[in-house]
Structure 1
Amino acid sequence: MAKIAFTGGGTVGHVSVNLSLIPTAIEQGHQAFYIGSKQGIEREMIESQLPEITYHTISSGKLRRYLSFENIKDVFKVLKGILDARKVLKKERPDALFSKGGFVSVPVVIAAKSLKIPTIIHESDLTPGLANKIALKFAKKIYTTFEDTVKYLPKDKADFVGATVRQDLLHGDKGRGYQLTEFTDQKPVLLVMGGSLGSKKLNEIIRQNLDLLLEKYQVIHLTGKGLLDTSLNNVKGYKQFEFVKDDLTDLLAITHTVISRAGSNAIYEFLTLNIPMLLIPLGLDQSRGDQIDNAKNFESKGYGRMIAEDQLTEHRLIDELKDIEAHRSTIIEAMHGYKESYTKEDLFNKFITDALD
């Protein structure tokens, strides 16, 4: 049996695959531990969801694509992170490292290379992030969720593995979904998700057009933390939550159409469930443009429609929803053409084989 180090952080997407692979590793008799930042979201997620896993902290800087005085300070943070990671890796002596990306992963991958520990990287988005571009120089392979991502990477290192979707997603309870929302099965359900932090602009447009939307749909609105509008609590056919975790599979089980950001994990879940989607990706003022690329790719494959956030208006939102419903059967037919490439067990077994070969 092997001992596996896992790393990745900064966003939910940089941790989620690790959260599925670590239990798989343990179920197969392997040992596992995690290396992350001191205060990043990865620490909160790992320690709350996998408390039995040892979590090691290291110094980490932020990788910026623009000139900033902070870049100078962060160089020293990254260098310290490499030393911190080397210390952890020398103590734990893992057989391999699995890196999900994010700036915290760079010093870990570099440290692993210096200790001759084989590393496999995972990239969820269509175009590789800066952290993975840097880390790839020190890694053995990189796995991709999008098939088109391979063309941006060295052929000898890139492997398309597709989306690794959690299996509980396929077992949502419709009865529980209707109970949570107090909806009926007599009218389609529209699920609106603005991401973990919510989207003020999207929330406003949904609320401004709520009467019109309720003519066609029952609406589940995931608003983001602190963004509920209590004045709408008693509106029939409208149910709002700040955030949903354990019950999300049940809400998805009753969802007819979804409006969402375009993080790769979320949109592949909608694809797996054959839910037509209207994607509103984070703009360039909030991200490097990875969600825009993801959304354009899904639109090109016929899985739904996208609206750039700076083009989001009341009329555009309604028009795109009407278009989705008019072409619903075509969209679902396109979705049926997608086949998930790897289960989490398949992905972990491939990782072990590739890393230790």
Structure 2
Amino acid sequence: MKNISFLPFILLLLLVTTASAQTAKGGCTTATVTANPPYSQNLYFSYVSWGDCGSVEEPCCRVIFSGSPVAPRYYLERKNSNGTWTQVAGPQASPVLSDPGVLNPHGVYRVRINVPVPDYNVCEGGEPLRCYNPNGQFVGYWGKWGPNEYTNEVLLGKTVASDNSYFFVDGGGGDANPFAFDYLEIAQINTSACKNYDQWWVAIIEQGGQSRYASNGWEFSPVGNGGIFNLTNLWKDGHSNWEFDPLMTYTVQFVVENHACLNGQGWNVNNQNYFICPFGSGCRFDEGVGLEAAISPNPTSNTLRLTNFTPTAAQEYQLTITDLSGRTVKSVQSWVNEDMDVSDLPQGMYILNLTSNGTPLFSDQFIVNH
């Protein structure tokens, strides 16, 4: 063995990859690591053929007879419904991973990465053990596996209906109805359940009146602001004088897609309606003389009935349904709490009134949502 000179430990710091953070991208069937954590590309493990240098002057070194520096190893993990993670693939050297045995994967995944790090516990003084080739040339250091590091969450597979979920957010009006806003109140939706989706579309359609329409077009990054999307800002974008008019119904059309695995035919659409109530009303209505009833289901698309209400034989009940202009659209003179068919009503908000011999008992609003 020729005389082996000591190389400064600073070489270890110079041989580091340029990656600054571990990232991955999804697809239809595979997750691909696009950037590794920083690591030294000149570290050797016991996987190589090696021997001691055999030099008294250089006791903390090894000769690498064959083998290559160690590269990162990868594991694929799938997210469970309770938020925990299950390893489904790995370890492997390839940065392209798939869920074995799953022909059409669908869900949230991440990649766990181990990169090699210097082993400082081999030599006296905490220096890493130096490695040389048989010609005495310095080639790197002895290493070990570092701690687990994780990529961002990615999506595999096409979206399905259950992936598209959002709800309306009160904009300060204190609304009694989750599907309604006061006039001039800020209208918003919470799309945080769709935070992993990187292609989406929002449109607002006015039902009746001027039949106006607004849309942001396709967006190719997750919804920002914690998933809160401001419908009022979208409505006014390019139309500063537009308002959501009172006593009008609007439809939100929300679409989410996995940009790396599009559905191709047909969008994954979630349409929901909201109503604009008169200014300052809080969308609250007179609830009669204390009857603790409720309209169910609400919203509805077919039938409804009153819950927490049992008719008495000594009374006769009258039920009427009016639209928000006060026009009666349905009525029953001798009502006994049977299911009422409202499937023929246009979608929108209505008011149900229950009376007995002219005495108001109950009044509340409901939504027909086809």
Asked if TM exceeds 0.5, the reply is no
Which one has a larger percent helix, Structure 1 or Structure 2? 1
TM bin (shorter chain): under 0.3
Greater relative contact order, per chain length (Cα 8 Å cut-off, separation 6+) = 1
Kindly indicate which of the two structures has a greater share of residues assigned to strand.
Answer: 2
